[in-house]
């Protein structure tokens, strides 16, 4: 069909959606989100549960290895970096009442070693202390000579958390309160050192009482708690926030008094 000037008429160009079409699009997007969000939450939940399960299995494995090799293991929880490193050391290692006591003991030991150290003496002591277990040269903090990185075939001694997962807290009796990651808006002072908490497994298979909370980085209330009990050697996983010391509430707080 031609117009009055002999030009062919063109169809009207549509420049926008109708209200009905927009409602359909919004409805489809809402449906996609309703399916995708729970799926993402399930993936994150599986991630944290897997990390908690692996940690519990590592505790059980280290219990048997400690008695077999007559060594002491410790797990160094890096609260700010997110992850942990397993180290092996002297079977006579002690657990101190506070981080300050541990640091003082380390300095005193280093002073004594310098007085008597000779060529090859430190290497010989370290080899004896680790029961012949192979250790990595760059593990540990470089100053604590009683412990070194563990290298076992087929065993992952260093675990790093993905960005979506972090620690809620880690507690051992060495600290008065559960230790938490440094807030994002704060910086640790150099004299404070790394924000690391240690948990020990001894040559007789005993475990230092430890509670580890692994959570979703975007939702700190969602996660899993790993609790290692010293009396029974049990390691449990709980999706709820375990109260520190709850599993030990049955233990007496005072020694019996003879009449």
Burial class (CB in 10 A: 0-12, 13-18, 19+), 18: exposed
Q: Checking DSSP bridges between strand 147-150 and strand 83-89, what pairing results, if any?
A: antiparallel
pLDDT at 118: 54
Q: What's the fold here for domain 30-248? A: minor pseudopilin epsh fold (3.55.40)
Mean pLDDT of 101-121: 68
Interval 212-221 mean pLDDT: 91
Measured distance CA(20)–CA(255) in Å, rounded: 78
Which bin fits 103, alpha (ψ -120 to 50), beta or left (φ > 0)? alpha
Residue with tokens 């250790």: 135
Q: Sign of dihedral through CA atoms 51, 52, 56, 59?
A: positive
Tokens of 207: 């475990």
Could you tell me which residues come within 8 angstroms of residue 214 by beta carbon, excluding any fewer than 6 positions away?
48, 51, 52, 55, 161, 165, 166, 167, 168, 223, 224, 225, 226
Mean pLDDT value across the chain:
77
pLDDT tens digits along 28-66: 777 766 655 554 455 557 889 999 999 999 999 999 999
Average pLDDT over residues 120-149: 52
Residue ranges per domain, the chain? 30-248
Nearest to 112 by CA among 101, 130, 125, 99: 125
Q: From start to end of 39-194, where are the E strands? A: 72-78, 83-89, 135-136, 147-150, 158-160, 165-171
Q: Which residue has the higher pLDDT, 104 or 145?
A: 104
DSSP state of 166: E
Supply the DSSP string of 199-226, one letter for each residue. EEE-TTS-B--EEEEEEETTEEEEEEEE
Please give the Cα distance from 1 to 81 (Å, whole number). Answer: 73
Higher pLDDT, 186 or 38: 186
- Locus of tokens 């076992």: 152
Question: What's the pLDDT band for 198 if we cut at 50, 70, 90?
Answer: very high
74-82: average pLDDT: 95
11 pLDDT band, cuts 50/70/90, is low
Q: Which among 238, 197, 214 is positioned nearest to 162, based on CA atoms?
A: 214
């Amino acid at each position: 069909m031609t117009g009055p000037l002999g030009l062919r008429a063109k169809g009207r160009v549509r420049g926008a959606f109708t209200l009905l079409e927009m409602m359909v699009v919004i409805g489809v997007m809402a449906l996609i989100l309703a399916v995708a969000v729970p799926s993402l939450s399930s993936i994150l939940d599986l991630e944290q549960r897997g990390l908690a399960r692996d940690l519990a299995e590592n505790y059980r494995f280290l219990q048997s290895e400690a008695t077999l090799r007559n060594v002491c293991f410790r797990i160094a929880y890096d609260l700010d970096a997110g992850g942990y490193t397993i180290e092996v050391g002297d079977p006579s290692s002690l657990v101190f009442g506070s981080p300050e006591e541990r640091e003082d003991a380390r300095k005193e030991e280093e002073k004594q070693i310098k007085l008597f150290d000779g060529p090859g003496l430190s290497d010989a002591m370290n080899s004896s202390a680790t029961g012949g277990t192979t250790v990595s040269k760059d593990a540990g903090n470089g100053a604590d000579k009683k412990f070194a990185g563990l290298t076992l075939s087929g065993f992952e001694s260093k675990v790093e958390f993905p960005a979506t997962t972090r620690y809620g807290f880690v507690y051992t009796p060495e600290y008065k309160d559960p230790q938490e990651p440094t807030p994002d808006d704060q910086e640790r002072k150099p004299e404070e050192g790394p924000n690391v908490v240690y948990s020990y497994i001894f040559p007789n298979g005993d475990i230092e009482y430890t509670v580890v909370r692994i959570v979703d980085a975007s939702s700190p209330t969602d996660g899993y708690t790993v609790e290692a009990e010293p009396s029974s050697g049990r390691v449990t996983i709980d999706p709820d926030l375990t109260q520190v010391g709850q599993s030990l509430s049955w233990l007496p707080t005072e020694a019996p008094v003879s009449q």
